[in-house]
């Protein structure tokens, strides 16, 4: 199925932010110089050569990576060019922000719950971990066409802070509002989580995942209609809008079973565009 334009725009921005912040890693470690491939082998990380690159050259390089990647995306030329322009403006607007990149697009696994019968691992990839004026922070990049305040009840944000043991997360909003100045378009919203909030997230995340484990074991899937219209519409809406008897045919003809996703392996073709 075709990606929504907002998702493609966000993907393109991430394809430039990834090498940009990789180039700004201040104290590279051994794992920064290699990447684990989908077949389990490793190879030199294609962005390692950007570490320490002069800022102007780094920005130009990332723009070219984005330009190349954009040709394979479902974006009109005007949106492609606008995304490249916004990235360049963002990079120079925050060039002296004091952020020192520690990890960029780094995968993680942390055990959320374990007993004799069940183990739940929480896995993901965090956009950026950096040291800065506020100390250690986790960062999540978001693109947007309108101004709004991110919710600190986000399951994603609380989960990142729990998994990384970092109490603060910055939502790095990159706006596309043409009538606003860079200072208004580019917002860094700080979310702080006291330990009590993080403990509560862990408790309820475990609860709901135990419920999901029950669904898996019993092959029962109660619909949740409150989420159907989120994120430009659930990709399974074409299934749920059919009568129950026709859903299996829709799933067989409109979808395909892909290999399980792992945050710890990479398709390097998506790194350089």
Mean local confidence (pLDDT), 33-42? 86
Burial of 7 (0-12, 13-18, 19+ CB in 10 A): middle
Q: Which has the higher per-residue pLDDT, 259 or 70?
A: 70
Domains in the chain, please, with CATH? 1-96 (no CATH), 99-221 (3.90.320.10), 223-266 (no CATH)
Give the Å distances, CA to CA, from 246 to 143, 218, 237: 37, 21, 13
CA–CA separation, 125 and 20 (whole Å): 17
Give the pLDDT of residue 5: 62
Range with lowest mean pLDDT among 42-46, 87-91, 95-99, 145-149: 145-149
Residue 272's pLDDT band (cuts 50, 70, 90): low
For the chain, give the number of residues: 273
Mean local confidence (pLDDT), 204-208? 98
Residue 148's pLDDT band (cuts 50, 70, 90): confident
Mean local confidence (pLDDT), 38-48? 89
Give the pLDDT of residue 40: 80
Q: pLDDT by residue (tens digit) across 69-113? A: 998 887 788 888 999 999 999 999 999 999 999 999 999 999 999
Percent of the chain at pLDDT exceeding 70: 97
Asked if 83 and 66 count as a contact pair (C-beta separation under 8 A), the reply is yes
Percent of the chain at pLDDT exceeding 90: 72
Asked if 162 and 185 count as a contact pair (C-beta separation under 8 A), the reply is no
**Angular region, 205: left φ>0, alpha ψ -120 to 50, beta rest:** alpha
Give the pLDDT of residue 203: 98
Q: Which has the higher per-residue pLDDT, 39 or 94?
A: 94
Is it the case that residue 227 has pLDDT exceeding 90? no
Q: What is the CA radius of gyration of the chain?
A: 20
Residue 119's pLDDT band (cuts 50, 70, 90): very high
Mean local confidence (pLDDT), 21-35? 95
Residue 205's pLDDT band (cuts 50, 70, 90): very high
Residue 1's pLDDT band (cuts 50, 70, 90): very low
Give the pLDDT of residue 268: 72
Residue 209's pLDDT band (cuts 50, 70, 90): very high
Give the pLDDT of residue 2: 45
Coil/strand/helix, residue 194: coil
Mean local confidence (pLDDT), 202-222? 96
């Amino acid at each position: 199925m075709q990606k929504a334009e907002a998702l493609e725009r966000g993907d393109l921005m991430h394809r430039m932010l990834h090498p940009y912040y990789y180039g700004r890693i201040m104290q590279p470690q051994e794992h920064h110089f290699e990447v684990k491939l989908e077949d389990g082998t490793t190879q030199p990380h294609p962005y390692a050569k950007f570490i320490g690159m002069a800022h102007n050259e780094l920005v130009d390089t990332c723009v070219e990576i984005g330009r190349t990647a954009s040709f394979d995306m479902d974006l009109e030329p005007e949106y492609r060019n606008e995304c490249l322009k916004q990235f360049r403006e963002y990079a120079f607007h925050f060039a002296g922000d004091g952020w020192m990149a520690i990890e960029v697009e780094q995968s993680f696994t942390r055990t959320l719950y374990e007993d004799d019968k069940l183990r739940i691992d929480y896995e993901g990839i965090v956009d950026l971990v950096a040291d800065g004026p506020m100390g250690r922070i986790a960062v999540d990049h978001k693109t947007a066409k309108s101004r709004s305040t991110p919710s600190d009840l986000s399951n994603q944000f609380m989960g990142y802070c729990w998994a990384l043991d970092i109490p603060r997360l910055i939502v790095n909003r990159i706006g596309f509002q043409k009538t606003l100045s860079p200072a208004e378009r580019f917002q860094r919203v700080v979310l702080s989580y006291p330990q009590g909030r993080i403990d509560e997230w862990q408790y309820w995340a475990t609860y709901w995942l135990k419920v999901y484990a029950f669904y898996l074991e019993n092959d029962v899937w109660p619909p949740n209609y409150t989420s159907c219209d989120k994120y430009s519409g659930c990709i399974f809406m074409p299934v749920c809008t059919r009568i129950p008897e026709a859903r299996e045919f829709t799933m067989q003809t409109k979808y395909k079973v892909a290999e399980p996703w792992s945050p710890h392996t990479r398709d390097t073709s998506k790194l350089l565009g």
